[in-house]
Structure 1
Amino acid sequence: MEQTQAPIKFSPYQILVIALIALTQFSVVLDFMVMSPLGDLLIKTMRLSTDQFGYVVSAYAFSAGISGILTAGFADRFDRKKLLLFFYIGFIAGTLSCALAGSYEALIIARIVTGIFGGVIGSISMAIVTDLFLPQQRGRVMGFVQMGFGASQVLGIPISLYFANRLGWEAPFFIIVAFSAVVWLVMLLRLRPVNAHLMAPSMDTRKPLEHLWHTFRNREYRIGFLATALMSLGGFMMMPFGTAYAINNLGLTKEQMPTLFMISGISALIIMPVMGRLSDKMNKAYIFSVASVWLIIFAIIYTNLPPSALWLVATINTLMMMGVMGRVVPAVALNSSLPAMPDRGAFMAINTSLQQMAGGVAAAIAGKIVTQATPKSPLMHFDTVGYILSVVCIINIVMFFRVYRMVQSRAVR
């Protein structure tokens, strides 16, 4: 167990940075996560098959991953504030194109555009966190930043579903565009330049492709990349068809979906700061392992549930989401300690890209595994997805213990 240290307080400006990054993450996560609750509505409105819907989800993930790889070599050559503003405004434009899409093909293209810009935002944000906060603060920072996920479920998804059920599936994307525009403007006016990494001598001579290759060929970095990708691979397999499964298999109504997401989102808001504090005080690999085992247990239970009352579905879903979210904070905090400062932007870009591409692979695989005879029929083989997730989680535990040992070894050098 790691030695307990007194928590280091945040400065007022650091609190502002945390808030801005959390709000940015909220909008990007909401844009991606809202596809799952909109799944049943999109499948029925656009007459999509489960296979096609899997490709809609994958389109964002693959384009985000490829974009991150292509920009990784440049990620440490510019002021991180300027990069964040550029990609965030592109994300806003992409989200607007989603709202205006009138066909399956147009929606696929719009998701690709959104992914190209939105997929890089997370890595830039994490690089900013790593630059501006000490290792003893990062667990708490990650906990607050990752609360964007919970907030998207507590506020974003229920509100989005409310308007989607009344105004059409396009409404949530218009809401995200309006919200993100305000965040972008505040960021432009209040966020200071983040350019300390430009003072590193290596940044003056290393070309973008050389920098990218230097980062990727580092063996320790590659282990961190694989660990994060596996975490995403397991989690993304269940997500795209969550709403369709709840409605068509568990017997819930579309009017009950906002309540279901709100309950699980509240649990995420509670668990994230707790996990952040624990990650700053305890062995992050152990915390990740406990959360993973917890996830395995409730994922298997959830994917084998018969038609059930809302309270039971919400309870099992909430317990399962606690495992999902409980893994993210220690994993991100642990992985952030791997790269040296001159490599952080590239490392975070590659790491996020591989994570998103793994998510795209997972969504596409799930689309092949899960079948549905008609848009109103129960999903078949959803339990298989739960079993595959369990196996991936076990492998993932081993990988993050390797990351933990590398970080500890570097600390004592």
Structure 2
Amino acid sequence: MFRLTTLFFLVMFVIGTDTFLISPLIPTLQNMFHIPTEYAGWMVGAYALGYALFALIAGPLSDGWDRKKVMLSGMVCFAVSTMLCGFATGFGSMFLFRFLAGVSAAFTAPQVWASIPALFPPSKIAKVSGIVMAGLAASQAFGIPIGSLLASTHWSYPFFTIGACALLVAVFIFYALPAMKPNQDPQTKNPIFSRYLPLLNSPLARRAFLAHFLFQGGFFAAFSFIGKWVTDRFHLSIDQAGYVMFFLGLGNIVGSFGGAYVIQKLNRFNTLVAGFLVSIACFIVLPHLPSVAAFEGVYFFIFVNMGIAFPLILGMLNSLNPTIRGTISSLANSIMYAATTLGSWIAGLLYATFNGFSSVGLFAAACFAGSLLCFIFSGIVNNQAQAKKELAS
């Protein structure tokens, strides 16, 4: 079991690192490719676009295939497309290769979350999910520093390095992951998009996914503007802002590793409610803190909660219907990227209109409050049996 846990950790770390890899390279690539600022962000957005669009297809398809083959093929394609980014000669080729990397990740990452309930006993799922989430959290903490360090020698080195690491992980998948034949449930033989119908027709599932959307939208709205806020408010340099992000990423790692223990002590409902209420209070007070140290300390608790809540939420969503876990995981990931895009856009409007982070913090707090209410009233937190019954009908 340790081998599989390590494998899933590495898959999420490599994919997560690639997600954040290009951020410190934008000024260099913008100058090299001679593109205006308004287009430069699409070198990041291309990855998210490829992921969000194809995750909706990848999930239903993977429920009818051997998950090992899907994960292996996706990781190989991810490695190749990432390395191709290092050969990009302009904005068009970089956009294409980043888009393909996002498509490959859309087929790979959801298999991890769908495989955990299939390969581990119920008593271990929360712990394993937390450790795997720590892989994504570690990529948030180390992705930007890794990209900056490698790019200091040549801009292409980060892409070649992460691509090579992805190939090694693909070899690990080939030797360590057992075959996972598709479930013979009739739902897995339906046309692709019709497999979403049990989720769309279930009021419980709709409320749960809406809660997931609000949670991700609120978090990433605030996350997107941390660097700008600390730079504007505390006059930090880009390097100093990067150290702030590194510290916050450690909070995510702490939450991911400690999540299973917290859930065991408080139970799932109390963990969710307490974490969300603490985060809401933190978002409200953040803009009024007098120092960088205070800001980091309060935001650290938000990231700890993110590390605990994210795998907990994915676990609840995946338990809705065990026969379509790939579909559920892909829908959850697609919703996350859609919420990230929308939340960041709204946060940008709020920040520019009201000239500061206060409105962004209030928006994030409102999203978390709405998410908590949706989770509670959906009944998914306490009533998994009813959820399965409703989706099966």
TM-score > 0.5, shorter chain as reference: yes
Distance 1:327 1:342, change over 3 A: closer
Q: Considering Cα pairs closer than 8 Å and 6+ residues apart, tell me whether 1 or 2 has the greater RCO.
A: 1
SS of corresponding position for 2:381? helix
SS of corresponding position for 2:234? coil
1:395, distance to aligned residue in structure 2 (A): 0.4
1:203, distance to aligned residue in structure 2 (A): 5.7
Matches within 5 A, 1:312-391: 312-339=294-321, 341-371=322-352, 380-391=355-366
1:82 aligned to 2:63?
A: no
Higher mean displacement: 147-156 or 287-296: 147-156
Which residue of structure 2 lines up, in the alignment, with residue 225 of structure 1?
A: 209
Superimposed CA distance per residue, residues 37-70 of structure 1 (whole angstroms, 9 cap, x where no aligned partner): 5567777887754x55655444333321210112
Using structure 1 for the length normalisation, give the TM-score: 0.81
Alignment partners' CA distance in 2, 1:124 and 1:34: 22
Query: Which structure shows the bigger proportion of residues in helix conformation?
Result: 2
* 8 Å CA contact 2:55, 2:330 repeated in 1: yes
Which residue of structure 1 lines up, in the alignment, with residue 116 of structure 2?
A: 129
Which residue identity is paired with 2:278? W
Please list every run of 5 or more consecutive structure 2 residues that lacks an aligned counterpart in the other structure.
Answer: none
Moved over 6 A (4+): 39-47
Alignment partners' CA distance in 2, 1:52 and 1:367: 16
1:404 aligned to 2:391?
A: no
Alignment partners' CA distance in 1, 2:211 and 2:130: 19
* 8 Å CA contact 2:66, 2:179 repeated in 1: yes
Matches within 5 A, 1:156-195: 156-164=143-151, 166-167=152-153, 170-195=156-181
Aligned residues: 387
Higher mean displacement: 242-251 or 85-94: 242-251
Which residue of structure 2 lines up, in the alignment, with residue 279 of structure 1?
A: 263
Please list every run of 5 or more consecutive structure 1 residues that lacks an aligned counterpart in the other structure.
Answer: 1-13, 373-378
Higher mean displacement: 125-134 or 145-154: 145-154
Alignment partners' CA distance in 1, 2:108 and 2:287: 32
Higher mean displacement: 212-221 or 342-351: 212-221
SS of corresponding position for 1:192? coil
* 8 Å CA contact 1:150, 1:269 repeated in 2: yes
* 8 Å CA contact 1:76, 1:345 repeated in 2: yes
Which residue identity is paired with 2:338? M
Superimposed CA distance per residue, residues 335-383 of structure 1 (whole angstroms, 9 cap, x where no aligned partner): 22211x22222222222222222222223333444459xxxxxx94443
* 8 Å CA contact 2:221, 2:343 repeated in 1: yes
Q: Percent identity?
A: 21
1:206 aligned to 2:190?
A: yes
Matches within 5 A, 1:91-110: 91-110=78-97
Alignment partners' CA distance in 2, 1:94 and 1:52: 21
Distance 1:216 1:130, change over 3 A: farther
Distance 1:117 1:366, change over 3 A: farther
Which residue identity is paired with 2:253? L
SS of corresponding position for 1:194? coil
Which residue identity is paired with 1:148? G
Alignment partners' CA distance in 2, 1:204 and 1:59: 30
**Aligned to 1:393, which of 355, 368, 372?**
368
1:76, distance to aligned residue in structure 2 (A): 0.9
Computed over aligned residues only, the root mean square deviation of the Cα atoms, in angstroms, reads 3.2
Which residue identity is paired with 2:112? S
1:129, distance to aligned residue in structure 2 (A): 0.6
Distance 1:240 1:32, change over 3 A: farther
